[in-house]
């Protein structure tokens, strides 16, 4: 597959870069010769001549705008936005609180919205940009005890899809859908609540459980992300990990089944557009008469 000109992806803005995927991919990018603006609430502990580490709260647009300004001042431009920041929680929907639901959405959804919203004018003006949203397979596959987390991730799928359509003239957009990887720190600060109700205990997963006969390797995954971004054309989604692949496949199979079962009813809802057919017939007659005259 054709490779992209690396000058078009020379400088990366990486969120959530103080730990987990954000920190590890920042180091790998630097090893490959890229420039990195590494941001997180706690200043990332990364030392390299081509890195700029900044304290940024993605829920506060002013701090994002300041980081973008400083990044451009140091490197001349920004080419890639890689969103990683996120928090999780394990609470049933009935036992969830509005306050906590909002706090998860604030970081997981609005944090991504804020960074994308801030960087788009720069990408549009340069007629070049790449946005990579690390969403997780939870954006496509629901699971129990994850009402806040899955809701935020499903919302990100919608936001990313809209961004893909609207920015197609100047920007590439891709979602990353990883499964479970050790070292990602995804559960570091999560709230976990054991349900007080028997009805919510020992729930069966929606999809077939994934056995533990394998282990996802984070280094392989991170190199796969960079390798993919170095291609000229990006897939809409990059699925990482056997568990993610199997769960997303099960969801896709379910969707295909629903499409098949709903086809007859879906078509029944749509009636003939008589006005459209009259206009179509009129156009056919006009074209037919023009051919006769010529």
- Which sequence positions are flagged as catalytic? 149
Q: What torsion, rounded to 10 degrees, do the Cα atoms 39, 45, 49, 50 define?
A: -30
**Is the Cβ–Cβ distance between 200 and 219 less than 8 Å?**
no
CA 106 – CA 174 distance, rounded (Å)? 21
3-state secondary structure of 8: helix
CA distance readout (Å), 112 to 13, 17, 80, 101, 159: 12, 14, 14, 16, 9
Residue 229 main-chain phi, psi, to 5 deg:
-65, -25
Tokens of 224: 């796969």
């Amino acid at each position: 597959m054709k490779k992209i000109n690396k000058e078009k992806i020379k400088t990366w803005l990486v969120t959530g870069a103080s730990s987990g995927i954000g920190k590890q991919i920042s180091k790998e990018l630097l090893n490959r010769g890229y420039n990195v603006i590494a941001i997180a609430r706690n200043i990332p502990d990364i030392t390299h001549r081509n890195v700029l580490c900044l304290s940024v709260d993605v829920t506060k647009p002013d701090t994002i705008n300041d980081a973008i300004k400083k990044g451009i001042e140091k490197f001349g431009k920004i080419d890639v936005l890689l969103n990683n920041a996120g928090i999780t929680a394990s609470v049933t929907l009935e036992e969830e609180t509005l306050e906590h639901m909002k706090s998860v959405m604030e970081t997981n959804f609005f944090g991504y919205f804020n960074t994308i919203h801030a960087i788009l004018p720069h990408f549009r003006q340069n007629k070049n940009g790449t946005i990579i949203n690390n969403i997780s397979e939870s954006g496509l596959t629901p699971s129990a005890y994850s009402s806040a987390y899955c809701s935020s991730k499903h919302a990100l799928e919608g936001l990313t899809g809209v961004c893909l359509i609207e920015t197609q003239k100047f920007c590439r957009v891709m979602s990353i859908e990883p499964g479970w990887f050790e070292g990602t720190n995804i559960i570091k600060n999560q709230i976990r609540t054991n349900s007080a109700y028997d009805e919510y205990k020992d729930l069966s997963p929606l999809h077939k459980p994934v056995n533990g006969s394998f282990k996802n390797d984070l280094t392989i995954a991170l190199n796969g992300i960079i390798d993919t971004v170095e291609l000229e054309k990006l897939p809409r989604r990059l699925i990482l990990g056997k568990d993610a692949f199997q769960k997303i496949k099960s969801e896709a199979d379910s969707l295909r089944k629903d499409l098949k079962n709903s086809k007859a009813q879906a078509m029944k809802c749509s009636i003939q557009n008589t006005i459209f057919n009259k206009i179509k017939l009129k156009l056919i007659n006009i074209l037919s008469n023009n051919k006769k005259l010529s």
